[in-house]
Amino acid sequence: MPMKAQGRTVYKSMQGKQIDMDMLRQRNELTQAVGNAKVNARGDEIGPGGKITRKKEDVLREYYENSSSMPDEVAVKKPTSEEIEEQIIVAAKTTAKTTKATTEPVKKDLTDDWEEDESGNFVKKGD
């Protein structure tokens, strides 16, 4: 199915003049951009005299080749049912160990070295 042709972006100014933004953009595509970036409006790098030194496509290609921000894609295989069962058993054992350790009562040593005096303060035995 063919794509629908996009209409031109035409705006009307406050004074009633019609401005075709697409034509304006194409007409000024090779004009140097304002600022110190040394590029034209399209994104090509410009050298002395307004000559194009590197095209936008070359700049982008080089960036993506040298960019290591994206990790390498690695295919992940679907685990088999045996592997899933094994992972469940390991997880259950780990959970049982931690649950057993946390549910056991803590045994306190009742032979501590502190005693309560007449005013309700705790002091070491023998003091």
The tens digit of pLDDT for each residue in 78-89 reads 889 999 999 999
pLDDT band at residue 72, thresholds of 50, 70 and 90? confident
Question: 41 lies in a domain?
Answer: yes
Question: 9 lies in a domain?
Answer: no
Question: 87 lies in a domain?
Answer: no
Q: What per-residue confidence (pLDDT) applies to 56?
A: 93
Question: 56 lies in a domain?
Answer: yes
Question: 103 lies in a domain?
Answer: no
Average pLDDT, the chain: 82
pLDDT above 80: residue 18: yes
Question: 58 lies in a domain?
Answer: yes
Q: Rounded distance, CA 102 to CA 22, Å?
A: 70
- Tell me how many domains the chain contains: 1
What range defines the domain where residue 46 resides?
A: 32-65
Question: 116 lies in a domain?
Answer: no
